[in-house]
Amino acid sequence: MTQAPAPKLTDHQPVPVSAPSGALKNLMLLLVPPIILFSMFLILYAMVRANLQEHRQFLMPSGAELWANAFGRPEVLAELAQRSLITIGIALTGLSISIPVGILLGVIMFRATILERAMFPNLVALQSIPTLAIIPLIQTALGFGTLPKVLIVAKFTMFAIPITLLLGLKSVDRGIINLFRLQGASWRTTLVKACFPSAAPALFAGLRIAASLAVISAIVSELFFLAGRGGLGQMIINSKIDFKYEQMYAALITATFLSVCVYIAFTWLGHRLFSDWHESGGKEN
Amino acid sequence: MTLQAESQPSDGAPPAGPQTGGPRPLGEVALSFENISMQFPDGTQALEDVSLTIRQNEFVSVVGPSGCGKSTLLKIASGLFPQTSGIVKVDREQLGYTFQDATLMPWRKVRGNVELLMELRGYSKAERKRIALEQIKMVGLDGFADHYPKRLSGGMRMRASLARSLALKPNVFMFDEPFGALDEITRERLNDELVSLFMRNSFTGLFITHSIPEAVYLSSKVVVMSRRPGRILKEFDIPFAYPRDPNLRFSAEFAALCNEISVSLRQAIEQ
Residue of chain B with shortest Cα separation from A274? B107
pLDDT at A88: 93
Size of interface A-B (CB pairs under 8 A): 50
Instruction: State whether B183 and B58 are in the same domain.
Output: yes
Instruction: State whether B250 and B116 are in the same domain.
Output: no
Rounded CA gap, B125 and A215, in Å?
Answer: 44
Instruction: State whether B67 and B193 are in the same domain.
Output: yes
Instruction: State whether B162 and B251 are in the same domain.
Output: no
Give the model confidence (pLDDT) of B58-90 as tens digits: 999 999 888 788 889 999 999 888 889 999 998
pLDDT at residue A237 is higher than 70: yes
Please tell me the distance in Å from B148's CA to the nearest CA on chain A: 6
**At A1, is the pLDDT very low, low, confident or very high (cuts 50, 70, 90)?**
low
Give the model confidence (pLDDT) of A100-122 as tens digits: 999 999 999 999 999 999 999 99
Instruction: State whether B188 and B256 are in the same domain.
Output: yes
| Interface check B103 vs A, CB under 8 A | yes
Domain that holds residue B117: 107-169
Q: Examine residue B149 and state whether it is found in any structural domain, yes or no.
A: yes
pLDDT at residue A284 is higher than 70: no
Q: Examine residue B50 and state whether it is found in any structural domain, yes or no.
A: yes
Instruction: State whether B82 and B125 are in the same domain.
Output: no
Instruction: State whether B150 and B230 are in the same domain.
Output: no
The structure's pTM equals 0.78
Give the model confidence (pLDDT) of B132-163 as tens digits: 999 999 888 999 999 999 989 988 999 999 99
pLDDT at residue B228 is higher than 60: yes
Give the model confidence (pLDDT) of A172-188 as tens digits: 999 999 999 998 899 99
pLDDT at A283: 45
Q: Examine residue B99 and state whether it is found in any structural domain, yes or no.
A: no
Instruction: State whether B160 and B176 are in the same domain.
Output: no
Q: Examine residue B135 and state whether it is found in any structural domain, yes or no.
A: yes
Question: Which of B154, B169, B184 is at the close of a domain?
Answer: B169
Question: Which of B128, B153, B169 is at the close of a domain?
Answer: B169
Instruction: State whether B254 and B161 are in the same domain.
Output: no
Count up the domains in chain B and report the number.
2
Instruction: State whether B178 and B259 are in the same domain.
Output: yes
| Interface check B266 vs A, CB under 8 A | no
- Give the mean pLDDT of chain B: 86
| Interface check B143 vs A, CB under 8 A | no
CATH for A68-274 is 1.10.3720.10
Instruction: State whether B215 and B137 are in the same domain.
Output: no
pLDDT at B19: 40
Question: Which of B169, B195, B214 is at the close of a domain?
Answer: B169
Which residues of chain A lie closer than 8 angstroms to B151, CB-CB? 285
**At A280, is the pLDDT very low, low, confident or very high (cuts 50, 70, 90)?**
low
Instruction: State whether B82 and B155 are in the same domain.
Output: no
Contact across the interface for B117 and A193, Cβ inside 8 Å: no
pLDDT at B26: 67
